[in-house]
Every structure is written in C-alpha cells, then in structure tokens.
C-alpha cells in the first residue's frame, strides 16, 4: 500500500515503429479515419506504438525494478514485424478500438510478452490474463456518430500492407494524462541482440 506522498508513475512497455515509411502509412490511414468526422479519438502521431504490456500506476522503486528486469530481454535477437491490415475490437461491425495488425514477428513479440509477465509477477504485479494479440492502436470509437463511414473504411483497409519494421529495442514508457491527450516519456530502453 502506498502512502499519500508517494508519487506514482503510470507506465507501460512498448515497441515503437522504427521504419519511418511504415509509420507514415499508419499515420495516413489513421488520418483517413479522422477525416470521417465520426465520433472517434485518434492516436497522436508521436504516440503510435505497439503496447507489449500496460502496467498502470506504480511507485518509483517498482519502476526501477521493472527497468532492471527488462535487461533480461537483451538475448532476444533483433527481428522484423510485418504490419498488415486494419481490424477492430471487439469486431469490424461494432468497433471500439481500431488497430493495425501484425502478421510476422508474432512469435518474438509473444516471447517478449511472456517474459515480461514472468518478471512482473515476481514483482507482485497482477498478471494480465487477456490473450496477447499484438496490434498497433490507431483510434478509439467514442460513439455511434459516423459509424457507417468508419465501418466502410475498416472494409477498405482490411488487407492494407503497411510493410516491415525492425524491432531493435523495447521501451519502458511513462504516460502523463493531459486534457489534450497523453504525453509519453521514455524511461528506459533495452537493445535486443544484434
């Protein structure tokens, strides 16, 4: 239990899109959804990433312990992930979260996630029991206004080829919530094996 004077850090573990051409395609598609004027909130360009694990609010000593445990990922080799297709949770006809899918590199991503879950469990952090489906969130649907246009775009971009992006590092990031949208700060990064 944390005292009232303990600062908490809202943190998550992420992989950024290192191929700028792929990132620009993600931005282009995200902006197409924004242009529908539907009741959606798109992710800011600089915040586009793949969340390996959202952790939540933890004190600084836990942040440092997470940082230390991430060093155990450095034996995982650098790999490529292929980003293809647009999908939605829970479904294409009732979208709440709009995302780009990962079709190659999933085995490595799941191994990174498995190890992180193991480290977090040792630190006393409650496990995430949801099945890990690697994806890159582009927008969140807030209401039904303009939903037909959103569903049409989901169909159009369902098989869109964004391309391949290398994964050379895994980052621990802090999220600072603000009215204009979250600010993400890098706290630590581990380089994968070259």
Which residues are designated catalytic?
A: 49, 135
Q: Do the Cβ atoms of 78 and 107 come closer than 8 Å?
A: no
Residue 82 β-bridge partners: 104, 164
Sequence-separated contacts (24+) of 172-177 with Cβ below 8 Å: 172/11, 172/12, 172/13, 172/63, 172/66, 172/67, 172/70, 173/11, 173/12, 173/13, 173/14, 173/49, 174/9, 174/10, 174/11, 175/10, 175/11, 175/12, 176/10, 177/10
The answer to whether residues 170 and 15 touch, using CB atoms and an 8 Å cutoff, is: yes
Q: Compute the 3-state secondary structure of the chain and give helix, strand, coil in percent, each to the nearest 5.
A: 30, 40, 30
| DSSP-derived pairing of the beta strands 183-191 and 40-42 | unpaired
- The CA-CA-CA angle for residues 38, 152, 104, to 5°, reads 105
């Amino acid at each position: 239990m944390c005292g009232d004077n303990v600062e908490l850090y809202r943190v998550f573990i992420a992989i950024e899109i290192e191929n700028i051409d792929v990132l620009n395609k993600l931005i282009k598609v995200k902006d197409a959804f924004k242009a529908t004027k539907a009741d959606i909130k798109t992710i800011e360009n600089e915040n586009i990433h793949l969340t390996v694990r959202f952790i939540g609010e933890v004190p600084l000593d836990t942040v440092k312990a997470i940082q230390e445990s991430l060093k155990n990922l450095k034996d995982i080799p650098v790999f490529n992930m292929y980003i293809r297709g647009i999908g939605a949770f829970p479904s294409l006809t009732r979208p709440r979260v709009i995302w780009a899918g990962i079709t190659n590199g999933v085995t490595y991503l799941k191994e990174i996630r498995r190890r992180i879950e193991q480290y977090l469990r040792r630190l006393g952090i409650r496990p995430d029991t949801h099945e890990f489906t690697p994806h890159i969130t582009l927008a969140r649907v807030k209401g039904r206004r303009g939903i037909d246009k959103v569903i049409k775009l989901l169909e159009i971009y369902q098989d869109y080829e964004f391309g391949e992006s290398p994964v050379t590092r895994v980052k621990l990031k802090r999220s600072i919530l603000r009215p204009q949208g979250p600010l993400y700060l890098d706290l630590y990064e581990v380089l994968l094996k070259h």
